[in-house]
Amino acid sequence: MKLLLIEDEPSVVSFIRRYLTEAGYDVSVALDGQSGLQMATENSFQLIILDVMLPGMNGIAVCKALRKQHDATPILMLTALGSTENVVAGLDSGADDYLVKPFKQAELLARIRSLLRRNPDNATSTTTNNNHNNNVLKVADLELDLNTKSASRYGENIVLTATEYRLLEYMMRNPRRVLSRMEILENVWGVDFNMNTKVVDVYVNYLRKKVNRKEQPALIQTVVGMGYMLKEEE
Ligand code: CA
């Protein structure tokens, strides 16, 4: 497993590198945002650990740049600032999870494992073309191909990050049912994920922008005071 750590504080770098190397990961390090972005672009990593406060290009900008070039590598953001505002800014830029400094070693490892487990690209099962049609979820004109991990509507491809994919898969497996924020959080992010449900709203909004197109009927609906539902507009 190849991980990229983008962090400028030497003590944090050596602590994380030593710890993750002992845990069996192959860790590459970039000491600033610009070189981190370059390394992430030129190489293939299973996960990126990205500090927010970096000299020059900060972590938010690095994350945005990666997502803009359709790089869906899971990103774990490190932030010294635990305010909701900063967390939301990080998630808004396309990060999959965050960890507030200082954190415990075990916590870091748990988050990494959870992200690697969640990422469909790292699934251990190999793709087969048998029973292809059984691996396509359909709700109205929206399709999700579980083999190729791709979504489309009216045959038009929808580019999704790893988290967006998992969220859409969960909603498509539970169509026409009100899903509470907590239910979504538990099923998409996992029960060990001690985060507030704001993240659900953030990601449902991303998906909504991608799935609900102006000229097409809305599929992702807000059920005021209760949660969200995937269904055709009546
Ligand atoms: Ca830093």
| 33 Cα–ligand 1 center, Å | 10
E strands in the chain: 2-6, 26-30, 47-51, 75-79, 97-100, 136-139, 142-145, 150-153, 156-158, 220-223, 227-230
Least confident of 25-29, 137-141, 146-150, 180-184: 146-150
Q: How much is the pLDDT for 159?
A: 85
Q: Are 65 and 44 a contacting pair, CB within 8 Å?
A: no
| 59 Cα–ligand 1 center, Å | 9
Mean pLDDT confidence for 77-106:
79
Q: Collect all residues with Cβ–Cβ distance below 8 Å to 35 and sequence separation of at least 6.
A: none
| 109 Cα–ligand 1 center, Å | 19
Whether pLDDT at 105 is above 90: no
Whether pLDDT at 125 is above 60: no
Q: Which residue has the tokens 């009546």?
A: 234
| 174 Cα–ligand 1 center, Å | 41
| 81 Cα–ligand 1 center, Å | 11
Map out the domains of the chain with their CATH numbers: 2-118 (3.40.50.2300), 122-230 (1.10.10.10)
| 8 Cα–ligand 1 center, Å | 5
pLDDT digits (tens, 9 = 90+) for 41-78: 999 999 999 999 898 899 999 999 998 888 889 999 99
Confidence bin at 7 (pLDDT 50/70/90): very high
